[in-house]
Amino acid sequence: MTDISRRDFIQVTSASAALLLSGLDNTVIAAPAKGYPMKKIGNIKNLVENEPFAFTYPDDQSPCLLLKLPNEAIGGVGPKKNVVSFSTLCTHMGCPVSYSQGRLVCKCHYSMFDVSRNGQSYQGLASQWIAQITLRFDAVTGNIYAEGVEGLIYGRIGNLKLR
């Protein structure tokens, strides 16, 4: 069993209450636990398998994509755990990557990242895994939210800070 302080309990319940009151429909809701915003990206019923949906997170300067894969993936959400999201900035020199057949491909120097394995770099000059967007799925509404980032977004000193 996990011990939780009174202060932590109040912070968690306050954040939960804010989400409930918002109806989970606002575009951006503060999520104070990690410092990342919670942002609604879309609804699972509108996603098409292997067709990426572009958005930005955690701010407008950070392009990302949302993917519905044919199979379960590490970090995947939804009933089949097959919805994942990544930054589209290559970790080598920041070129844009695109999705193709289960991987993100950078055409600048041919790096490839496995989208079913946390964005693992497995070919090319990029040695760092591409940043994965942490998702939350609302099973009642089908809405999908971004709520954090694992790994460093290219060109940043911190995911919430530009240079």
CA-to-CA distance for 95 and 67, rounded, in angstroms?
Answer: 19
C-alpha dist (Å) from residue 3 to 6, 8, 9, 33, 70: 10, 10, 10, 17, 39
Q: How far is the CB of 30 from ligand FES (least distance, A)?
A: 33
Applying CB under 6 A, which residues contact ligand FES? 90, 92-93, 95, 106, 108-109, 111, 124-126
| Residues forming beta bridges with residue 149, ordered by sequence position | 133
CB contact set of 37 (below 8 Å; sequence gap of 6+): 28, 29, 30, 31, 57, 58, 146
Q: How far is the CB of 130 from ligand FES (least distance, A)?
A: 10
- Which residue, 74 or 95, is less far from ligand FES as judged by CB? 95
Q: Residue 41: CA atoms inside 13 Å, Cβ hemisphere, count?
A: 34
- Which residue, 124 or 142, is less far from ligand FES as judged by CB? 124
Q: How far is the CB of 96 from ligand FES (least distance, A)?
A: 9
Q: CB–CB of 115/98 below 8 Å? A: no
Displacement of CA 3 from its chain's centroid (Å): 29
Marked catalytic residue, from 8, 51, 109, 122: 109
Q: How far is the CB of 64 from ligand FES (least distance, A)?
A: 16
Say whether 92 is catalytic: yes
- Which residue, 81 or 117, is less far from ligand FES as judged by CB? 117
Marked catalytic residue, from 92, 99, 116, 126: 92
Q: Which residues are catalytic?
A: 92, 109
